[in-house]
Structure 1
Amino acid sequence: MLSRGDLTDREWEALEPLLPKTNSRCGRWRDHRQVINGIIRRLSTGCQWRTLPGHFGPWQTIHKRLMLWSADGTWERLLQHVQAEADAAGGIDWDNNVDSTSVRAHQHAAGAPEPAAHAVKGGCPRPGPRARKPAAPAGGGGAADEGPGRSRGGLTSKIHLASDGRCRPPAVVITPGQRADRTRFEPVVEEIRVPGTGLGRPRRTPDSVGADKAYSNRKTRAYLRGRGIRHVIPEKKDQAAGRRRRGSHGGRPPGFDTARYRKRNTVERAINKLKQFSAVATRYDKRGYVFLGTVNVAALLIWLRS
């Protein structure tokens, strides 16, 4: 199981050079490997922080480390480094697919304060030390974007993600549970950013992007064409009927590669891998940026272990 076990020696060797050596607030950090193993235990089991076994160290330290590194983007940088190493070795299949999944929020995840700081990548606001005045959250909708949203399933959040051809998520966006899938398509694709191991710009353009009918609209296809990305999105029946009714004014039917569309199951399998982690399958984190960090840690482990 991807979610089981502490960091292996190989995984630790990949992460150790990238971790911060000193803490500006209190000097040296507590042993990184011990603390990260504690975060993995909580991620795997979804247990309360204070019930973590003592050999991982004080639970307050582990909790604070997850929060700090979620706020300053450390987890995202680690994830991008692992992706860059995989790309340099030719290990990324750039036929990407996009989808979303709903996550039931635990009652302890409710009651987050109204966001009063930055809007950040991923659709979740998080505190910024240099923020002087509130900014609108990237997900839109005020305080609902900080905490879980209301949907038919009750209190839920939604994870929008892309997947490469090997069932690994290169990009993740978190929104309230009532947010429509198609509204987050462009932010997810924009989040795909794999740096090179040397000089040069990061790669941000997949070979193709596949999605189901929930993403079928002219705006989405025009966006992908504008970026030179081949789209594989089936057309809805009502959209096809409307196009035919307009005759020559309805335009040509969108291209569709049936063989390529069969690979769309990779994003479903990537969702299954993420939900092997109990703290992802159920949202326990109150703050949006912390839950985004939790999902990024799970994605990091998937890339390291697959």
Structure 2
Amino acid sequence: MEITEAQFHRIEHCLPQQRGNVSMTNLQVLSAILYVAEHGCKWRGLPKRFGNWHTIYTRMNRWSKSGVLDRVFQELQREQIVRIKIEAVSLDSTIVKVHPDGTGAFKKNGPRAIGKSRGGWTTKIHMVAADARTAITFALSPGEAGDAPMGRALLQHLGPIDEPLHLLMDKAYEGDETRQLALDLGFIPVVPPKSNRLEPWEYDREMCRRRNEVERLFRRLKGFRRVFSRFDKLDIMFLSFVHLALIVDGLRW
């Protein structure tokens, strides 16, 4: 997998301008980072054709701290949302196993959304998606965190919407508080009630089937080994790999 010259020109303006005696272009650095993301290798394991691994890691670390890949993701996201007609959005989460190399960071070094659940050390990615290729927003939480509280946090981050949209969710989000928040923000919640509900409600079963779109998006993201397994101790670096995976997927449009 490579980023072509044409694809790079779409996002070049979002990347820092290179000054001085720089040995590697932004395209070369992106290609090297993409190799790490796709194959899950260690930075030291980068093939020599990509150049000095430490230079690439340093550039990635700098971009992560300054939010460069976040800005690129937001730019592509705006293009995609203009291109498609959004009729519904889906809210869901997926669990990422944490490799032993990803544990042990000091709290003072930065946030690390890693927790211990029945599956061991894990991180959750919570996401609102417009379709199987378009993520609207996402966030991380420790693996043992509940879906509904983080789902409400994402919805509050989005804020009120101008026109009513269907919000597709599974039973993890069928609580009264989550559905009421969705209504207050202008969404139409489409969520099946749990079997122990005393007063179950009717819902649009045909529309609810579209919830598979966010699951397909998660599946595409997990094609990148650095997203499928978390090797990064701090959230800031892991988030950058998630952003990169979404960026590469968006550039294929």
Would the TM-score normalized by the shorter structure come out above 0.5?
yes
**Quick check: 1:161–1:173 contact (8 Å CA) kept in 2?**
yes
**Is 1:305–2:252 an aligned residue pair?**
yes
Count of aligned pairs between the two proteins: 253
Structure-2 residue corresponding to 1:143: none
Q: Distance in 2 between matches of 1:225 and 1:291?
A: 33
User: Shift of the alpha carbon at 1:94?
Assistant: 4.3
Distance in structure 1 (CA, Å) of the matches to 2:225 and 2:219? 11
Aligned to 1:97: 90
Residues 136-147 of structure 1 aligned to structure 2 (within 5 Å): 146=112
Equivalent position of 1:6 in the other structure = 2
Taking a change above 3 Å as real, the CA distance of residues 157 and 206 of structure 1, as seen in their structure-2 partners, is farther
Instruction: Specify every segment of 5 or more residues in structure 1 that has no aligned partner in the other structure, as ranges.
Output: 118-124, 126-145, 194-202, 244-252
Q: How does 1:179-218 map to 2 (within 5 A)?
A: 179-192=145-158, 207-218=165-176
- Aligned AA (1:107): P
1:256 CA drift (Å): 1.6
Rate the CA distance shift 1:68–1:191 in 2: closer, same or farther, 3 A.
farther
Q: Alpha-carbon deviation of 1:147? A: 5.0
Closer, same or farther in 2 for the Cα pair 1:52/1:157, shift >3 Å? same
Aligned position for 2:28: 34
Q: Indicate the larger mover: 183-192 or 70-79.
A: 183-192
Aligned pair partner of 1:21 in 7, 14, 17: 17
2:187 is equivalent to residue 229 of structure 1: yes
Give the aligned residue type for 2:77. Answer: Q
Match of 1:79 in 2: 73
Contact 1:92 1:165 in 2 (8 A): no
> Residues of 2 paired with 1:289 and 1:255: CA distance?
41
Aligned to 2:218: 271
SS of the aligned residue for 1:285 comes to coil
Q: Deviations over 1:123-166 (max 9, x none)?
A: xx3xxxxxxxxxxxxxxxxxxxx152101111111111122123
- Give the distance between the partners of 1:105 and 1:288, measured in 2 at CA: 12
SS of the equivalent of 1:166 reads: coil
Q: Unaligned regions of 5+ residues in structure 2, if any? A: none
Change (3 A) 1:38 1:116: closer
Distance 1:94 1:301, change over 3 A: farther
Alignment partner, residue 112 of structure 1:
105
Report if the CA contact (8 A) 1:160-1:172 is conserved: yes
The runs of 4+ residues in structure 1 deviating greater than 3 Å are 26-30, 190-193, 203-206
The CA distance in 2 between the partners of 1:279 and 1:204, in whole Å, is 36
- Partner amino acid for 1:102? I
Counterpart contact for 1:148–1:157, Cα < 8 Å: yes
Structure 1 pair 94/68, CA: closer, same or farther in 2 (3 Å)? Answer: farther
Report the alpha carbon displacement of residue 205 of structure 1 after superposing the two structures with TM: 7.1
Q: Which amino acid aligns with 1:16?
A: E
Give the match for residue 258 of structure 1.
205
Q: Secondary structure at the match of 2:186?
A: coil
Letter in 2 for 1:59: W
Taking the TM superposition and a 5 Å limit, the aligned residue runs for 1:155-194 are 155-192=121-158
Task: Give the secondary-structure state (helix, strand or coil) at the position aligned to 1:292.
Answer: helix
Higher helix proportion (structure 1 or 2):
2
- CA RMSD for the aligned pairs? 2.3
TM-score when scaled to structure 2? 0.91
3-state DSSP of counterpart to 1:231: strand
Corresponding residue to 1:69 among 44, 53, 63 = 63
